[in-house]
Amino acid sequence: MTRGFCAGRALAVAMSLAAGLSAAESGTPPAGKNPTADGYDGIWYTSRGYYSGGFALFPSQHSPFAVYRGEVQKTFFVYGGTVRGKRQLQAMVSYYDHQRGVVPRPTIVHDWGESNLKPGQMADGHRNPTLVVDGDGRVWVFVSGHGDNGYVYRARKPYCVESFDRVIETPMTYPNPWWIPNRGLFLFFTKYDHSRESFWLTCPDGMSLADLATWHTPGELNAWTISPDGDKYGHGNYQFTAARGSRVATAMNNWIGRTRDRSNLFYLQSDDLGRTWQTADGKPFSVPIRTAHCAALIRDFWSEQLQVYIQHLTFDSQGRPAILFLTASAGQAAEGPGGPKTWTVAHWTGERWAFHPVTTSLNNFDCGSLYAEDDGTWRIIGSTLRGPQPWKTGGEIALWTSHDQGATWKMLKQLTAGSLYNHSYVRQPVDAHPDFYALWADGDGDKPSPSRLYFCNRAGDVRILPQAMTGSFAQPESAAAWSSSKSASRPGSG
């Protein structure tokens, strides 16, 4: 299968990208630096009855948000920022310098306030960015659309986030870019042409993404428009992806008929950049998925009357997939009192899929990250504990560990406590450094509020990114020290 490969036009556009895209091609000035913000402010977003809060790292089907590069000892990261005092989404990029222990002023890559969106759409967290760092060290930022056009940007200099050129504007939602060593860029994304349909593209160096023709024939992972459980069009699939070595993989759930329930769990992988696809046991699978009852289906949760909300896909030390997800009773609202929301790990043992409960929480959109470390320790860092806005998205953050490949779990440490706002959407950096192991944001689950960004080390010590910077660089504070010093007067509490 050759669909989804874009090497053919790479040479035609490589020359313009190598020299810096022209203003006509990129829509951005060919010289000068991107503007910066004077601190780290996350976007607040809501879809009433489903989710709300500090959604700088939303949604869970976006990945990656952060990448560590050891050659420069920096963790590069993106997030959905805002203009302070407004609900105006900006795609931000920055890095944590592990040698100096500092962050620079964050760079504004894309400002949705300069678009033609309606005012209510300008804070849409679905439009948050993701990023990848290519083999030459250039940072690529993929700004998601939401059923419409997204944007791709490329840094002008390796390992530098000061200046970006726009590569293309094209229909693209939920972009998941992965750099495959010695192979090139692999991009998972979604289009809303018929429903939520999942696609992929590959490019040796990313250059041919500037050619619109590249996007006309992507590989298709699902072509699902009709559900047997309803007489109207369904809403397709959500995909959650990962990469390890030459392998790329996707885990999916699907919408159910006329309901807003999402259920079931699917998995596919490829070791040859999408030329062929297999199930976890290595058996060939001919994409796209067209019906729920197929070999890619891990478990028919809908027959058990359970909703499924996927949080994270990763691999264990032997390269076998593990999926973190949450289940809730069918028909149960995302927020508000009801049955438990059960955090669960699905792990391919090499012979079968094993399913292990972890804990419960209060909202379908609670989210964390799963870590399978080389020494056999597994960790989950996520919003598993009741927060100050119960039933709303997120809560207090906890660190859980397992020493039997996810079969049993124990809460090792509570990372946040006594918070003013719920914490949500804990994200794992690619090749995470122990000092920058997870990244998330907070925000009021009930009403618009400021939103701060946090990160923690592997031990669970939390630091907060600076909201107000007077210089070019600043050192993140300990969240415990910050909370103590601000206890009398926190931002946004008045």
Q: What is the mean pLDDT of residues 220-226?
A: 76
Using omega within 30 degrees of 0 as the cis cutoff, is the peptide bond preceding 59 cis? yes
Model confidence pLDDT, tens digit, residues 371-419: 999 999 999 999 999 999 999 999 999 999 999 999 999 999 999 999 9
Q: What is the mean pLDDT of residues 316-343?
A: 91
Q: What is the mean pLDDT of residues 180-184?
A: 95
What is the overall mean pLDDT for the chain? 89
* CATH superfamily to which 7-485 belongs: Prolyl oligopeptidase, N-terminal domain (2.130.10.120)
Q: Which of 109-113, 183-187, 252-256 has the lowest mean pLDDT?
A: 252-256
Model confidence pLDDT, tens digit, residues 429-476: 999 999 999 999 999 999 999 999 999 999 999 999 999 999 999 999
Q: Count CB atoms within 10 A of the CB of residue 49.
A: 11
Higher pLDDT, 241 or 237: 241
pLDDT value of position 3: 46
Model confidence pLDDT, tens digit, residues 348-361: 999 999 999 999 99
Q: Where are the beta strands (DSSP E) in 32-147?
A: 44-47, 51-54, 66-69, 74-82, 89-97, 103-104, 107-111, 129-133, 139-143
Confidence of residue 258 (pLDDT cuts 50, 70, 90): low
* DSSP states of 244-260: ETTEEEEEEEEE-TTSS
Q: What is the mean pLDDT of residues 72-80?
A: 98
Q: Where are the domains of the chain?
A: 7-485
pLDDT value of position 290: 87
Model confidence pLDDT, tens digit, residues 150-177: 999 999 999 999 999 999 999 999 999 9
pLDDT value of position 194: 73
Q: Which of 93-102, 253-262, 345-354 has the lowest mean pLDDT?
A: 253-262
Q: Which of 8-12, 59-63, 479-483 has the lowest mean pLDDT?
A: 8-12
Beta bridge partners of 154: 140, 165
Model confidence pLDDT, tens digit, residues 49-75: 789 999 999 999 999 999 999 999 999
Helix (H, G, I), strand (E, B) or coil at 416: coil
Q: What is the mean pLDDT of residues 204-222?
A: 91
- In the chain, % of residues over pLDDT 90: 76
Confidence of residue 234 (pLDDT cuts 50, 70, 90): low
d(CA 203, CA 162): 25
Q: What is the mean pLDDT of residues 220-248?
A: 77
d(CA 355, CA 359): 13
C-alpha dihedral sign at 236, 268, 326, 463: negative
pLDDT value of position 340: 85
